């Protein structure tokens, strides 16, 4: 058996199976911070990550506040941008835009119809 992490032969007494690949126990660490992963891990592009680093690197970020958007959150979309509901606001009058409101997205800034 070959370890997915280091590509070395696994001759240890114990090994771990993650996403149909085998790992040495010592190789199960975050690819970003190198901390050992003991209870949970996130897997992407054949690399393991802790929750914090996975969210920093791969989570969808709100175009308004630049914070991560949880998969369960409701969002508003404008072209390729995604926003928290609370961040989908006109940049001039700060009025929260609702579904059906007319707006313009100009140079990454949301503008309600009146302020445009």
Residue whose entry in the numeric block shows the structure tokens 């445009």: 116
Is the domain of 72 the same as that of 104? yes
Give the bridge partners for 16, in sequence order: 23
pLDDT at 39: 87
Same domain membership, residue 49 and residue 82: no
If asked whether residues 71 and 100 sit together in one domain, one would say yes
The structure tokens listed for 45 are 């592009």
Same domain flag for 41 and 69:
no
The answer, yes or no, to whether residue 63 has pLDDT greater than 90, is: yes
- Percent of the chain predicted with pLDDT > 90: 62
For residue 70, what are its two tokens? 């949880």
Domains: count for the chain: 2
Q: What range defines the domain where residue 25 resides?
A: 16-58
Distance from C-alpha of 45 to C-alpha of 31, rounded to nearest angstrom: 11
First to last CA, the chain: 63
52 falls within a domain: yes
Q: What is the pLDDT of residues 22-61, one digit of tens each?
A: 989 889 999 999 999 988 889 898 889 999 999 889 889 9
The pTM of the full predicted model, rounded to 2 decimals, is: 0.61
Q: pLDDT band at residue 83, thresholds of 50, 70 and 90?
A: very high
Q: Domain with 76 in it: what CATH number?
A: 2.10.110.10
């Amino acid at each position: 058996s070959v370890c997915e992490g280091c590509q070395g032969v696994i001759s240890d007494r114990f090994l771990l199976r993650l996403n149909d690949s085998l790992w040495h126990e010592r190789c199960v660490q975050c690819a970003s911070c190198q901390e050992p992963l003991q209870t949970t891990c996130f897997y992407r592009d054949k690399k393991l990550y802790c929750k914090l680093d996975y969210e920093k690197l791969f989570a969808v970020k709100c175009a308004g506040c630049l914070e991560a958007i949880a998969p369960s959150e409701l969002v508003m979309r404008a072209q390729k941008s995604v926003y928290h509901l609370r961040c989908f606001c006109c940049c001039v009058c700060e009025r929260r835009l609702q579904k059906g409101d007319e707006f313009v997205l100009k140079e990454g800034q949301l503008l309600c119809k009146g302020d445009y």
